[in-house]
Amino acid sequence: MTVLAPPSFASGDPRANRAVLCWPAAAKMAGALVLITGTAVVPAGWKLWFAGVALLLGVVWALGRLPPGPVLRRLLALSPFVAGVALAAAWSPGGVLDWKITALRSGLCLATVILLAQATPFAEMLAVMRRVHVPALLVTTIALMHRYLFVLADEAERMRRARASRTFTTGRRFAWWAAATVVGQLFVRATERAERVYDAMGARGWR
């Protein structure tokens, strides 16, 4: 089990330039949307568009003095999907598409999303979603998920560690049992926590 990296690296990084962080979130989200949509649909011949997007991302990256590590790691994690599609395309007679262009497209889009996620606090993204009339129930659910994501991930890790320290076995069957028990117990605890959260929300005048 991997320990989660914090979602917004820039906000905690003292070297990060606050200017990029302080740009209005709505503008950053709209810009990212335009870049992603354009990159995904422009014809493969528009080399200038791809070069322009790459240059723009690089400039924003440099302006914000964001760490390059996370984006490189995520690009590597993407490569299995690209490799699989490249393999499938190689098997297709006549080559259905140029997989290099596809890889370029998905790489640029991925870099845009990572840049957006790093340069924009999640609460501001939620505020923008609320402003463009995303259903309130969905925004509430997303906000609560974001709030308790790391809490529950830590809880699962603690339960897994406790289980590992109590039971000493190498059997695969038992390992499945143990992991399923952890997940089941996690659901029980999430449900109980949801009830406490509702009481707390009610006490603070929610609804």
Of 30-69, binders to other proteins (CB under 8 A) are 32-33, 36-37, 39-41
| CA dist 173 → 126, 164, 177 (Å) | 43, 15, 6
Q: CB 120: neighbour CB atoms within 10 A?
A: 23
Q: Does 128 bind other proteins (CB under 8 A)?
A: no
CB 57 within 8 A of CB 111: yes
Q: Which two tokens stand for residue 92?
A: 């297709």
CA angle 150, 63, 7 (to 5 degrees): 5
Which of 141, 158, 161, 162 touches other proteins (CB under 8 A)? 141
d(CA 120, CA 179): 35
Which of 51, 62, 145, 164 touches other proteins (CB under 8 A)? 145
Q: Does 153 bind other proteins (CB under 8 A)?
A: yes
183-202 residues near other proteins, rule: CB under 8 A: 183-188, 190-191, 193-195, 197-198, 201
Q: Which residue, among 86, 90, 137, 123, has the nearest Cα to 107 in the 3D structure?
A: 86
The stretch near other proteins (CB under 8 A) out of 13-21, 55-63, 77-85 is 77-85
Q: Which run of H or of E encompasses 124?
A: helix 122-131
Straight-line distance from the first to the last Cα atom of the chain, in angstroms, rounded to the nearest whole number: 38
Least spacing, CB of residue 80 vs other proteins, in Å = 11
4-33 residues near other proteins, rule: CB under 8 A: 4, 7, 32-33
CB of 20 or CB of 104, closer to other proteins: 104
Q: Which residue, among 122, 124, 117, has the nearest Cα to 147 in the 3D structure?
A: 122
The stretch near other proteins (CB under 8 A) out of 9-17, 18-26, 55-63, 96-104 is 96-104
Which of 17, 67, 74, 128 touches other proteins (CB under 8 A)? 74
Which of 59, 135, 158, 161 touches other proteins (CB under 8 A)? 135
Least spacing, CB of residue 62 vs other proteins, in Å = 20
